[in-house]
Structure 1
Amino acid sequence: MNILVIGPSWVGDMMMSHSLYQTLKKQYPDCAIDVLAPNWCKPLLARMPEVRRALTMPIGHGAFNLTERFRIGKSLRNQYDMAIVLPNSLKSAFIPLFAKIAVRRGWKGESRYFFLNDLRSNKNDYPMMVQRYAALGYEKSAVPDAQNLPIPTPYLTVEKSAVEKTKEKFSAQLALAENRPAIGFCPGAEFGPAKRYPHYHYAKLAEMLIEKGYSVRLFGSAKDNEVCQQIRGGLPESLQAYCVDLSGQTELNQAVDLISDCVAMVTNDSGLMHIAAALKRPLVALYGPTSPQYTPPLSDKAVIIRLIEGGLIKIRKGADSAEGYHQSLIDIQPEMVMEKLAQLLN
């Protein structure tokens, strides 16, 4: 059986989709899985052994482009027995229909009755996103309930030689901290500043770690340059060499290698948090307005700190500080994070 998965467009969601691929391999042992997803996903999908091929989705997130969707669908005809659509949008269901794939499976959303013929309507019975993904790996009549649904843990394969090659590429940046074990910080968040742990708390935590003999690596995209510079600039000048700013410098594959080389991670609720969890790094995950009830880090080496109760608070910029940080994250003191880190490292 050949299965086409219409993949998600965000790093964290793509990591959680690995639970589906593992479930499919258990339910259909001889299946071959291809994933249609944005080009940036390929480094992650290449590290998931259950995936045969990553197919490039050339249409940007949010774009409709019906003509291009028809072209893609037509090019995929006579290749697949089943399609599984992970995004909830109507447009995401077009390509499997145009590809004339016999079984088109997904959750109910945006009037997709005609487009999906194996439609699941009980999404609310599965409160976690990863449960919703994994449930789509079962035949409709055989899906376990949420309490009994196995959730294979996402993971990424890592080759030691590739890690060493990546470290060599960044040897100039890492040189001053070469003999110190590294702890990674992921201070960025696409959601907005309300989702970020304050840069001054990160700076204080970095100072405490460096004084204990660690180095700190700052991970993120070019969008995170400013906050990473704020963290590094918040350190005493004599300690700044031990805080390596890698934001905007690494490709995703390289970031995965360098995160795998860290002895622990501290991160906001972000895509890189899910990568760190999949790499089985000891992890302290800091939550504020977003809720770990829906998208927690899927690792037994992860500790979550959240000081408020309840579900998702839909706010991108908080009114509690000039930077837009949310009070619930401001209240998480660096000493609290340090305590959890120490427990993990021990």
Structure 2
Amino acid sequence: MTEPLMRRLQARGERLTVGALPWVAPVYRLMPQVAEVIELPFAHGGLQLKARRSLARQLSGRFDVAYVCPNSLKSALLPLLAGIPKRVGYLGEARVGLLTHRLKNPPKAQRPPMVAFYSALSGAADSGNDRPQLQLNPVEVDIALAALGLQRGAYDVFAPGAEYGPAKRWPTRHFAELARRLELPVVLLGSAKERDLCREIADLVNADQPGKCRNLAGETSLAQAFSVIGAAKCLVSNDSGLMHVGAALGVRQVALFGSSSPLHTPPLNDRAAVLWLKNDASYQPPLDCAPCFERECPLGHTRCLVDITADRVLLNM
């Protein structure tokens, strides 16, 4: 979702270095606008001031401007410690003294779609046409598919995980039902943390149709996962990072929304079908509770996802 920002900055002549955590660094290496990617050696949680000061010394004097995309205090520390003179970001978490150019941070309910939210850091007006774009090297895709024993367009991909929590995940039994009804085999993608979730789906499907469902969660690099998605016939996913990868690659996809909102984080892809019961006038009783943006359903039913049927997804594939 930050790729359109990269495109804007590069188009006006800025040379871009991106500081990213190791799990997301491969995304930026696929962006031709990015000249350099620095993997940040920070663990989740805590300020880790010693590590930040050490890296800041290495970066001192190299940069004129820092665009700080995350809203956290710690994300704004490194540019300050590195002495970068212009530091642009949104207000939040006591960052007034850390940023030199501060944008007002609207409440989440009033925040624009995240692509526009990030693109605004460039200082340019929203064009309304910013869409994330990723380009894969065809040779690298072929190499990845050959290593995994896959053929272009001969499988569908499911990404059943969502790091945020279960209130964003379509039930595993629904994924399994959908897989059983598809003509093509299904490849399951996700992180190592989602391996068991994907195994549950694969076991349900393969018990009736041996070999129909293949679990690659935690078995591929991020670059390989991108190749698998880019060469698939269709991607079915929750509102997740891999959903946005599919959108940026322009693949046919069905995106399932529950506790979150496609008004906030839509898949910006003309080939995407979005299923969200909140805006379905025929769904009764209405989902007055959505979007709640909670990790787990506060009401305990998660009907925003449970009531999306495999039939409905199939009709949109």
One-letter amino acid of the counterpart of residue 160, structure 2: P
Q: Describe the SS at the equivalent of 2:179.
A: helix
Equivalent position to 1:181, from 136, 150, 154: 154
Quote the residue 2:181 is aligned against.
Answer: 208
Q: Does the alignment pair 1:66 with 2:49?
A: yes
Distance of 2:201 and 2:25 partners within structure 1: 30
Q: Which runs of 5+ in 1 are unaligned?
A: 1-15, 342-346
Give the TM-score, by structure 1 length: 0.83
Q: CA deviation at 1:151?
A: 4.3
Aligned ranges for residues 207-226 of structure 1 at < 5 Å?
Answer: 207-210=180-183, 214-226=184-196
Please point out which of 230, 243, 246 is paired with 2:213.
243
Cα pair 1:107 1:123 within 8 Å, conserved:
no
Alignment partner, residue 104 of structure 2: 121
- Are 1:312 and 2:291 an aligned pair? yes
Distance 2:39 2:153 in 1: 39
Q: Which runs of 5+ in 2 are unaligned?
A: 280-287
Aligned counterparts of 1:180 and 1:269: Cα–Cα separation in 2: 23
Match of 1:10 in 2: none
Given that residues 37 and 55 in structure 1 are in contact (C-alpha distance below 8 angstroms), is that contact kept between their aligned partners in structure 2? yes
Q: 2:23 aligns with which of 40, 47, 61?
A: 40
The alpha carbon displacement at 1:77 in A equals: 1.4
Aligned counterparts of 2:244 and 2:130: Cα–Cα separation in 1:
14
- How far is the alpha carbon of 1:180 from its aligned partner? 7.2
Relative distance call for 1:96 and 1:236 in structure 2 (3 A) is closer
- Rounded to whole Å, the distance in 1 between the matches of 2:70 and 2:152 is 44
How many angstroms does 1:126 deviate by?
4.7
Summarize deviations over 1:217-262 as a string: whole Å, max 9, x none. 1111122222222222222645231221111111111101111110
Instruction: Determine which of 290, 301, 314 is the counterpart of 1:338.
Output: 314
Task: Please list the CA deviations of residues 283-325 of structure 1 after superposition, one character each: whole Å capped at 9, or x if unmatched.
Answer: 100011111111111211111101125753143233777xxx7
Q: Which residue of structure 2 lines up, in the alignment, with residue 53 of structure 1?
A: 36
The AA in structure 2 aligned to 1:198 is P
Q: Residues 217 and 246 of structure 1 are in contact (CA less than 8 Å); yes or no, is this contact kept in structure 2?
A: yes
Aligned to 2:140: 162
Candidates 219, 237, 242, aligned match of 1:267 = 237
Q: Distance in 1 between matches of 2:41 and 2:103?
A: 27
Q: Residue 180 and residue 32 in structure 1: after superposition, are their counterparts in 2 closer, same or farther (change >3 A)?
A: closer
Secondary structure of the 1:60 match is coil
In 2, Cα distance between equivalents of 1:180 and 1:263: 5
**C-alpha deviation, 1:129, in angstroms:** 1.6
Q: Distance in 2 between matches of 1:179 and 1:155?
A: 20
Structure-1 separation of matches of 2:291 and 2:49: 33
Give the conservation status (yes or no) of the 8 Å contact 2:177–2:310. yes
Cα displacement (A) at 1:337 = 0.5
User: 3-state SS of the aligned residue for 1:157?
Assistant: coil
- Structure 1: how far apart are the matches of 2:152 and 2:37? 38
Residue 19 of structure 1 contacts residue 151 of structure 1 at CA under 8 Å; is this kept in 2? no
Q: Does 1:132 align with 2:124?
A: no
What is the distance in 2 between the residues matched to 1:18 and 1:52? 13
> 1:126 & 1:228 partners in 2: Cα distance?
33
C-alpha contact 2:239 2:255 (8 A) present in aligned 1: yes
- State the Cα deviation string for residues 36-59 of structure 1 (Å, max 9, x = none): 111222221111000001101101
Match of 2:130 among 144, 152, 160: 152
Shift of the 289–336 alpha-carbon distance from structure 1 to 2, 3 Å rule, reads same
Aligned equivalent of 1:83, options 42, 66, 75: 66
**Closer, same or farther: CA 320–218 of 1 in aligned 2, 3 Å:** farther
